């Protein structure tokens, strides 16, 4: 098995590294032989047709799905032993809100601060400021007091992105944030990515098509039938071949 290229940057291991990654679901090979390094500051787009394994790949990188073969690390640590989850902001495909009293947009976004809070202290001024900034970045300041159930699909997706932003992580993993959303939400996402790029954040973005975010992407990986079909952009120094 190939060694991990931990010399991507002199200041430590990369946010994500996978070597020989394979995932099997229901007896079927979904990912096969994946070698991938996500370097600090990358805005990496994972592209491919439906069923190519895009969402499976990011879930495997995060340790949400087990590998059948190969290995993966988050900042140099296997997912099962990684404890720095405040450094990772994950944006799933859909907002899931349980029954009972519906949550407001601000409550959903504020939940992104939980990893940074002690169980013994209430929300601080820094927490409230981070939530305010996140709402502003995605254009939902005016909807903060509304129930998330009253938002459009695109606005709900923006609320999920704001929840990740509120946690102020180093790395963002966004799974199909533009799927089925309107042009305004796509433009809002492009603006958010522009700010994250200016701050030197790392982003892994799963997408069908890039649309308005395409000029911001530094690297693309195209999956087809569970394999890397091609990669564009500059690969990090020392990355697996």
Per-residue pLDDT tens for 19-64?
999 999 988 999 999 999 999 999 999 999 988 999 999 999 999 9
pLDDT of residue 125: 87
The CATH homologous superfamily for domain 16-233 is: P-loop containing nucleotide triphosphate hydrolases (3.40.50.300)
Q: Where are the domains of the chain?
A: 16-233
Confidence band, pLDDT 50/70/90 cuts, at residue 113: confident
Nearest alpha carbon to residue 88 among 185, 21, 165: 165
Q: Which residues pair with 221 in a beta bridge?
A: 46, 231
CB 216 within 8 A of CB 193: yes
- Phi, psi angle pair for 118, to nearest 5°: -80, 145
Q: Where are the beta strands (DSSP E) in the chain?
A: 16-25, 28-38, 43-47, 69-74, 88-91, 171-175, 202-206, 219-224, 227-233
- Give the mean pLDDT of the chain: 86
Model confidence, pTM: 0.85
pLDDT of residue 120: 54
pLDDT of residue 224: 94
């Amino acid at each position: 098995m190939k060694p991990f290229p931990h010399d991507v940057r002199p200041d430590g291991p990369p946010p994500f590294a996978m070597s020989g990654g394979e995932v099997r679901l229901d007896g079927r090979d979904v990912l096969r032989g994946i070698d991938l390094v996500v370097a600090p500051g990358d805005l990496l787009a994972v592209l491919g047709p439906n069923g190519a394994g895009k969402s499976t790949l990011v879930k495997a990188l995060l340790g949400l799905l087990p590998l059948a073969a190969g290995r993966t690390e988050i900042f140099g640590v296997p997912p099962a032993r990684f404890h720095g989850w405040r450094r990772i902001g994950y944006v799933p495909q859909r907002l899931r809100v349980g029954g009972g009293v519906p949550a407001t947009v601000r409550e959903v976004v504020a939940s992104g601060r939980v990893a940074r809070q002690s169980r013994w202290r209430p929300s601080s001024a820094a927490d409230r400021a981070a939530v305010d900034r996140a709402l502003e970045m995605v254009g939902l300041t005016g909807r903060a007091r509304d129930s998330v159930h009253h938002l459009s699909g695109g606005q709900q997706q923006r609320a999920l992105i704001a929840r990740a932003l509120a946690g102020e992580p180093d790395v963002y993993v966004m799974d199909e944030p533009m799927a089925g959303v309107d042009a305004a939400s796509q433009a809002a996402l492009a603006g958010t990515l522009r700010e994250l790029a200016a701050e030197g954040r790392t982003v892994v973005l799963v997408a069908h098509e890039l649309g308005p975010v395409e000029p911001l992407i530094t690297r693309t990986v195209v999956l087809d039938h569970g394999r890397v079909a091609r990669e564009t952009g500059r690969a990090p120094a020392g990355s697996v071949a």
